[in-house]
Amino acid sequence: MRAFLSSSIGVACAAALVLPLSLPSGAAAAPRDARTGSPVPGSTESLPLIPLGSERSSGVATEQGLPQRDVQPFSLVGVVWDDADAELNGSVQVRNRSAETGDWSGWQDLETHNAEHGADLGTSERDSGTVRGSTAPLWVGASDGVQVRVQGYDNPDADPETRPARAPLPHGLSLELIDPGEAPEQLPVTEADASRGQAVPTDATGSTGSGKATTAAGSATGAVAKPYKAPRPKIISRKGWGANEKLRERQLGYTKTVKAAFVHHSATGNNYTCKQAPSVIRGIYRYHVTSSGWRDIGYNFAIDKCGNIYEGRAGGVTKPVMGAHTLGFNTNSTGIAVLGSYSTTNPPAAVTTAVAKLAAWKLGLHGINPKGKVTLTSAGSNKFKKGKKVSMNAISGHRDGFVTDCPGNRLYSKLGAVRVSAAKYQGRS
């Protein structure tokens, strides 16, 4: 991955040197294959932010950003910085220009507290030297213009009209513009198809990310509990959503078992169609790897608002793959991310049904009751110190292991019903 990061920067620089004269000032050409001249499937444009304001008493920059400018095509946007352990105390807002209409959006907020996601402290992934701090990415759709402003606040939760902009910002702030590229094929159903009950295509063998198939009862340790196993739901493979396997590290990481499922929302917004969901996932994948410096996409699974289920991190959907989704509790757990933002929006019934079916099946492979409690050992978070044994629901929200709003109040409030449904899918009363 380190080699890729270096090469991606080189490609971006090279692209900037070959801008055609017809492009608007400041725009960058979309990357193309040097041999065929065809567009490269997906790209990342990194734009360092510039100071816009500073605290008078110290001279420390408390506002950075970029004025309106033309950029290469993108659909997902985020902000990263050098130190993965540094918090961005403040607000990040972006505006984008639609590539279709030419209209500018209003200001949109990016979720700034993204440190609760990522590999556990002390793991090889976290200590790779490539990991950066980052906001949650935001899906804005096909765009070719952008504006951003980042402000630091002593108290980011105070009234925006009265709070002073005095907190210093992290070093190395950069705007990341992600073009998810085209996929070989679009497998998920549309909202209309989902309402008619059309079947969702799936990779029946389970993709491992390395070309090797796995059996439905397989695990990294071999033996699994047989009672109360739920039917396997339809899962769209990495190939199905168009994952570029050259992006991620070749190494696959596993944990011993799966005792708990942590439910997340991606905080990427709800302005996507289910036909676009594979593009959203490709965007998150590229943002996690090329911008944030992770080994692979952080989540083990993703679910779109139509209830389609997608394979996340490579390694095999039946296996206990070590994810990077719940800082402090990635060991012996799996991460399920619902695409969207559910702090003030209710998740569709198709979403909670899919979460229940997926959790019932995945936990059932390891003999776990979805309505039961499990004990996990913290690897260190802002809620539980390293080494502390914590009793949790087998299906928990991200906030149960870390002080965060994730998975949003509206989705979190549904988890009780999800546990009951999941237990029924396992044949439990």
Whole-angstrom Cα distance, residue 302 to residue 309? Answer: 6
Q: Mean pLDDT throughout 45-61? A: 75
| pLDDT for residue 166 is more than 80 | no
For position 182, what pLDDT does the model report?
84
The residue whose two tokens read 């630091």 is 152
pLDDT score recorded for residue 429: 83
Residue 36 pLDDT class (50, 70, 90 cuts): low
For residue 385, the tally of other CB atoms under 10 A from its CB is 11
Taking the C-alpha atoms of residue 73 and residue 266, their distance in angstroms, rounded to an integer, is 22
Amino acid at 291: S
Query: How many CB atoms sit inside 10 A of residue 6's CB?
Result: 10
Which pLDDT does position 393 carry in this prediction? 98
Q: How far apart are CA 13 and CA 402, in angstroms?
A: 38
Give the burial string for 100-117 (b: 16+ CB within 10 Å, else e).
Answer: eeeeebeeeebbbbbbbb
Per-residue confidence (pLDDT) for residue 322, from 0 to 100: 96
Give CA–CA dist 288/265, Å, rounded.
Answer: 15
Model pLDDT, residue 294: 95
For residue 221, pLDDT over 80 is answered with: no
**pLDDT, position 192:** 43
Neighbours of 211 (CB within 10 A): 7
pLDDT at 14: 33
425 confidence band (pLDDT: 50, 70, 90): very high
Residue 47 contacts residue 94 (beta carbons within 8 Å): no
Whether residue 229 is predicted with pLDDT greater than 50 in this model: the reply is yes
Structure tokens given for 135: 């906001």
- Max CA pair span of the chain: 68
- Angle, CA of 309, 310 and 315, to the nearest 5°: 135
Per-residue pLDDT, 153: 82
CB 366 within 8 A of CB 257: yes
Distance CA 9, CA 225 (A): 47
